[in-house]
Amino acid sequence: MREKLSTILYSEGVLFMKQLHHPDRKDIQLASVLYALSDPIRLYVASEIRKHGAQACNSFKVPIAKSTLTHHARTLREAGVIHTRVQGTQRILSLRTEDLDERFPGLLDSVLQAYERSEPGEGFGEPAEEQEE
Amino acid sequence: MREKLSTILYSEGVLFMKQLHHPDRKDIQLASVLYALSDPIRLYVASEIRKHGAQACNSFKVPIAKSTLTHHARTLREAGVIHTRVQGTQRILSLRTEDLDERFPGLLDSVLQAYERSEPGEGFGEPAEEQEE
DNA sequence: TCAATAGTTCGTAAGTAATCGAACTATACA
DNA sequence: TGTATAGTTCGATTACTTACGAACTATTGA
């Protein structure tokens, strides 16, 4: 039988929810940023934030499990692409445009513009409407 | 005991060395390009080509096995970042700047400029000279 | 014909990544 | 209180990546 996590962790003085770590601007690595943006779901998330502003995870209509989205959000955050702030039960994701522009001028813009050109649809991965032949 | 590969393969009419595949310009995917460029060695290779022009694999001074460099060159090629042409015993690697610029304007430039700013050294991964404190 | 050089392929090992569902925490609200 | 909502953590699975050395092909040039 398993003890409740809170009982175990709080009783030992360990924080359950890790402090969200955001790298300092100077520690943002080019390779990590490119890696974070090399996944279709993460590209979509970054692009949605750029188009419609900061927003919570649950506003992204992606065909994956909640835990998988958490993983992608962490990848973006740890690479320095997004900032996550807690608001009630939500995590609000925003792009670190200033930090990225300062460190890698023009990069984020050219990536997201390229993405938006190549994926003109609204939702995720919609193949631009099934085309009958 | 192992038969010679050539005996096996040619006798079955199979080409030993795969035809080098380069994706058509229109098939170059943003995520694949970003992924290909998200590795320090591949970034270095791309940057060296941009700085000094098309060159063979053996001109890259990288601390990895030959077979590993082959792997990285294939990753860049299959993503559409570089073009490989055979010249004697060598494979000459060049950047597909026109194709990339047409498909993702400004992307390659901002990536490689960002790389060259953040890695000012000449060789690979040289930590800009050990600094005593 | 032989040796040297350039690069590929293969097999393997270790590490990392994407994914899921279940169990959980945290907050808001009725 | 209790319930709903938002998101995290955990453990497992599966797949991919990076890396190497050994064996190989292909070409050049002595």
The string of DSSP letters for A84-130 reads EEEETTEEEEEE-HHHHHHHSTTHHHHHHHHHHHH---SSSS--SS-
Average pLDDT over chain B, rounded to whole? 85
Q: Which residue has the tokens 């860049």?
A: B76
Asked if B16 contacts B6 with a C-beta cutoff of 8 angstroms, the reply is yes
pLDDT confidence tier of residue B7, bands split at 50, 70 and 90: very low
Q: What angle do CA A64, B38, A102 make, to 5 degrees?
A: 100
Q: Which residues contact B131 (CB under 8 A, 6 or more apart)?
A: none
Please answer yes or no on whether B105 and A103 come within 8 Å at the CB atom.
no
Position B119 scores a pLDDT of 85
Please tell me which residue of chain B has the smallest CA distance to A28. Answer: B118
Separation in Å, CA of A90 to nearest CA in chain B: 28
- Please count the residues of chain B: 133
Give the CA B15 to C1' D12 distance in Å.
Answer: 41
B111 touches chain A (CB under 8 A): yes
pLDDT confidence tier of residue B123, bands split at 50, 70 and 90: confident
Strands (E), A16-110: 55-56, 82-87, 90-95
What is the layout of strands, in order, in the sheet containing A90-95? A55-56, A90-95, A82-87
Rounded to an integer, what distance in angstroms lies between the CA atom of residue A45 and that of residue A72?
A: 9
Quick check: A1 pLDDT over 80? no
Nearest to A106 among B43, B106, B115 (CB): B106
Chain B residues touching residue A118 (CB < 8 angstroms): 29-30, 103
Asked if A100 contacts A107 with a C-beta cutoff of 8 angstroms, the reply is yes
Q: pLDDT tens for residues A80-117? A: 999 999 999 999 999 999 999 999 999 999 999 999 99
Rounded to an integer, what distance in angstroms lies between the CA atom of residue B4 and that of residue B16?
A: 12
Contact residues, A window 4-33, toward B, CB-based 8 Å cutoff? 29-32
pLDDT confidence tier of residue A79, bands split at 50, 70 and 90: very high
Nearest to B48 by CA among B64, B28, B29, B62: B62
Strand C atom within 7 Å of A13 CB: no
Please answer yes or no on whether A35 and B40 come within 8 Å at the CB atom.
no
> Which ranges in chain B belong to alpha helices (H)?
5-11, 30-36, 40-52, 66-79, 97-103, 107-118
Position B19 scores a pLDDT of 74
Average pLDDT of the segment spanning B91-120: 97
Rounded to an integer, what distance in angstroms lies between the CA atom of residue B5 and that of residue B9?
A: 6
CA quadruple B60, B64, B70, B75: dihedral sign: negative
Chain A residues touching residue B109 (CB < 8 angstroms): 106, 110
Quick check: B65 pLDDT over 60? yes
Asked if A74 contacts A113 with a C-beta cutoff of 8 angstroms, the reply is no
Position B117 scores a pLDDT of 95
Residue B107: count of CB within 10 angstroms of its CB: 22
pTM above 0.75?
yes
Position B130 scores a pLDDT of 37
Position A120 scores a pLDDT of 83
Position A125 scores a pLDDT of 61
Q: Which of residues 4-43 of A touch strand D (CB under 7 A)?
A: 16-18
A45 touches chain B (CB under 8 A): no
